[in-house]
Amino acid sequence: MQFTQLQYFVAVAETRHFTRAADLVHVAQPSLSQQIKALERELGADLFLRARGNITLTDAGEALLPLARRILADADTARYEVQELVQLRSGRVRLGATPSLCTGLLPDVLRAFHDRYPGIRLLIEEGGSHDLVRELARGALDLALVVLPLPTPSPALTTVELLREDLVVVSSPEAPKPGDGRRTVRIADLEGERLVMFRHGYDLRELTVAACRAEGFEPDFAVEGGEMDAVLGFVRAGLGVAVVPRMVAARSGRGLRVTPLARPGLHRTIALAHRSDVAPPRAARELQRMLLER
């Protein structure tokens, strides 16, 4: 099995077209087809069902595709690792993080990292913890900031707890203060409030909804489905209140009232995750050190 054969196989699997796949990998279409056939002979199974204008994966192709992607991603990481210079003057870091962490935690750390290593490219992917764990597992990320506990615990990942962050309630200063004007708000006080809620897949959505249900009520959504910036904007406009991380509230600027949650409150645990079977590239390890020492 040759590395280029896996590249050609993935290209056909993603484009579902031999000619477009050949253009993608910059090779003549007959050469690509020959290499795919050679790979099928070696594996002893057809990888594609070929019909005019319709290319689909066989069961063998479906089984090979995630493995091939992972092999190619690992090879790509190895290439960057070797190419990095001794003083970290070049290279890249692929970091995944939840949108709230991109807003609250990362700006200061990434600025310090960039000031120290201006030649390192920072590639940031936003997503929920579930999506980030999947991207880590397939080798598309070097590191990820995720919320514990993970939606699906994975022995293939190593996690290191980074911080425990309080959640707070944000509202428009022009709207009535939640909790009848008290200095803190109980989760039970949210029963009479309209909530601005994040989209499905957000860790904050699941955490808030679970806390409301534990108090015996279903939250009432004024607006739902937004990303972090949209949620804060809707709250500023007076559409409702939202439960957000303290760091996000602190960086959100004017136009928001911040009310702490009464004890025991709500918290989330942030961890730094990477694959257990492959050490992160050198530049990623340096960013990891800076995050842990922040």
Domains of the chain, by residue range, sit at: 1-64, 79-161+268-291, 163-267
Q: Where are the alpha helices (DSSP H) in 117-227?
A: 129-137, 203-214
The CATH number of domain 79-161+268-291, selected from 3.10.580.10, 1.10.150.120, 3.40.50.300, 3.40.190.10: 3.40.190.10
Given a cut of 50, the residues of the chain with pLDDT beneath it are: 86
Tell me the per-residue pLDDT of 161-211, one tens digit each, with 9 for 90 and over.
Answer: 999 999 999 999 999 888 887 899 999 999 989 999 998 878 889 899 999
Peptide bond into 280 cis (omega under 30): no
Task: For residue 54, list its beta bridge partners.
Answer: 51
Indicate if 163-267 has the same CATH topology as 79-161+268-291.
Answer: yes
Q: Which CATH number fits domain 163-267: 3.40.190.10, 3.30.365.10, 1.10.10.60, 3.30.200.20?
A: 3.40.190.10
Question: What's the pTM?
Answer: 0.65
Domain 1-64 belongs to what architecture? Orthogonal Bundle (1.10)
Tokens at 193, concatenated = 């409030």
pLDDT at 255: 85
3 state DSSP class of 145: strand
